[in-house]
């Protein structure tokens, strides 16, 4: 079992809007969830960072970052205390399922000066609407990017040398699954990679404690997905708990990465999107599993797709960056209206409550 400092993204923009699987964790009644409400700049991320820092010396803490602002926390999970703290505001709106029993709303908006916000009403509305418009633009470009990646993927599927790939996958499974797992064979979905203002980022800190990291180099998405799909299914069948990381560029239908914490094994992919660079990984070149003769029929199409993926992804990153700059403008109004001494008191009370639950 590897000791892992886990970091993921809460979710990301897709052609269907913001997508996240985090709600499934909140539905787990063995956890108690604090759902933070309040506008931008009300101290949600700072509160979570303080709580995480307080408990980390004594238990495993999992951090979930914002894809629109990778320096900002969207959620924290305290594994030992069985407690979740999550930003429940748009675009990832969460509400209590079992209010009071398993979830509790913390309204940080109670600690702002409404008169200051009312005085800036017109400016707040204008900049908020501007931010919504830019996010809508990011969604449109994400849709175009998804369509192009999907076209490359389906071309590649028809070119996979199935016998060759199946033989490799069988040998690979024998190599890494050397015993039976002690878990229940559950599959958790987490987002290790996301499209951000800084490009396509992967939380490589999460990989640091994995003993064996295999990097699948795949220009066409298909073989890496098929390998990860097969390995994760067999690992779960043998009783290993598995973390699967789907690609938002494919609306979560194609897998990018897979983690088996009990074995300390990670299987990650480097594609035209992820372009993953991780020095401690063992590279696996998947080009040999595609039929050159079949690819020749798609040569021009794939060349155009490759150029389109590059230009569209850069436009997505640029649009997210612009939206983030506008979001920072929104935050300024709320930061100026907040009573942060009260927020610190809320944080202190939350820590006391969590400690009392143990």
The pLDDT score that the predictor gives to residue 90 is 85
Q: How far is it, in rounded angstroms, from Cα 281 to Cα 310?
A: 24
Q: Where are the domains of the chain?
A: 7-112+339-357, 139-301
Angle at 260 between CA 173 and CA 205, to 5 degrees: 125
The pLDDT score that the predictor gives to residue 352 is 97
The pLDDT score that the predictor gives to residue 228 is 98
Strand ranges (DSSP E) for the chain?
Answer: 7-9, 12-14, 17-19, 32-37, 61-65, 73-78, 83-87, 103-107, 187-189, 193-196, 199-202, 212-217, 242-246, 255-260, 265-270, 282-285
The pLDDT score that the predictor gives to residue 14 is 77
The pLDDT score that the predictor gives to residue 16 is 76
Residue in the structure block whose two tokens are 């979905």: 189
The pLDDT score that the predictor gives to residue 248 is 83
The pLDDT score that the predictor gives to residue 45 is 96
- pLDDT < 50 regions, the chain: 1-3
The pLDDT score that the predictor gives to residue 3 is 47
Tell me the CA distances in angstroms from 342 to 76, 118, 338, 348, one per residue in order: 21, 20, 9, 10
Q: What is the pTM of this model?
A: 0.94
In DSSP notation, 287-344 reads GGGB-HHHHHTTHHHHHHHHHHHHHHHHHHHHHHHHHHHHHHHHHHHHHTTB-HHHHH
Residue 330 CB: number of other CB atoms within 10 A?
Answer: 18
Q: How far is it, in rounded angstroms, from Cα 259 to Cα 8?
A: 12
Q: Which two tokens stand for residue 70?
A: 């990778």
Q: Is the peptide bond before 91 cis (omega within 30 degrees of 0)?
A: yes
The pLDDT score that the predictor gives to residue 5 is 72
> Phi and psi dihedrals of 194, rounded to 5?
-150, 155
């Amino acid at each position: 079992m590897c000791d892992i400092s886990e970091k993921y993204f809460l979710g990301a923009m897709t052609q269907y809007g913001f997508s996240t699987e985090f709600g499934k964790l909140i539905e787990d009644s063995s956890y108690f969830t604090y759902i933070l409400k309040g506008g931008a700049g009300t101290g949600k991320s700072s509160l979570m960072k303080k709580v995480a820092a307080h408990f980390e010396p004594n238990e495993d803490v999992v951090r979930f970052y914002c894809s629109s602002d990778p320096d900002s926390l969207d959620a924290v999970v305290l594994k030992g205390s069985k407690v979740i703290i999550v930003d429940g505001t748009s675009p990832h709106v969460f509400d209590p399922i079992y209010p009071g029993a398993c979830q509790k709303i913390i309204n940080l908006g109670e600690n702002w000066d409404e008169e200051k916000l009312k005085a800036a009403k017109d400016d707040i509305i204008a900049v908020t609407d501007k931010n919504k418009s830019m996010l809508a633009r990011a969604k449109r470009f994400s849709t175009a990017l998804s369509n192009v990646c999907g076209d490359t993927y389906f071309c590649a599927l028809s070119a996979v040398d199935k016998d060759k790939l199946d033989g490799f996958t069988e040998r690979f499974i024998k190599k890494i699954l050397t015993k039976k797992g002690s878990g229940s064979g559950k599959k958790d979905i987490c987002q290790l990679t996301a499209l951000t203002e800084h490009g396509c980022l992967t939380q490589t800190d999460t990989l640091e404690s994995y003993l064996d990291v295999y990097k699948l180099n795949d220009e066409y998405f298909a073989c890496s997905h098929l390998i990860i799909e097969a390995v994760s299914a067999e690992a779960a069948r043998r009783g290993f708990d598995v973390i699967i990381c789907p690609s938002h560029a494919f609306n979560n239908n194609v897998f990018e990465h897979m983690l088996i914490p009990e074995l300390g094994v990670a299987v990650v992919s480097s594609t035209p999107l992820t372009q993953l660079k991780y020095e401690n990984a063992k590279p696996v070149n998947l080009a040999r599993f595609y039929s050159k003769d079949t690819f020749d029929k798609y040569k021009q199409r794939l060349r155009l797709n490759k150029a389109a993926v590059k230009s569209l992804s850069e436009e997505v990153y640029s649009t997210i960056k612009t939206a983030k700059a506008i979001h920072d403008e929104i935050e300024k109004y709320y930061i100026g209206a907040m009573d942060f001494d009260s927020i610190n008191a809320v944080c202190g009370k939350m820590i006391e409550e969590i400690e009392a639950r143990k």
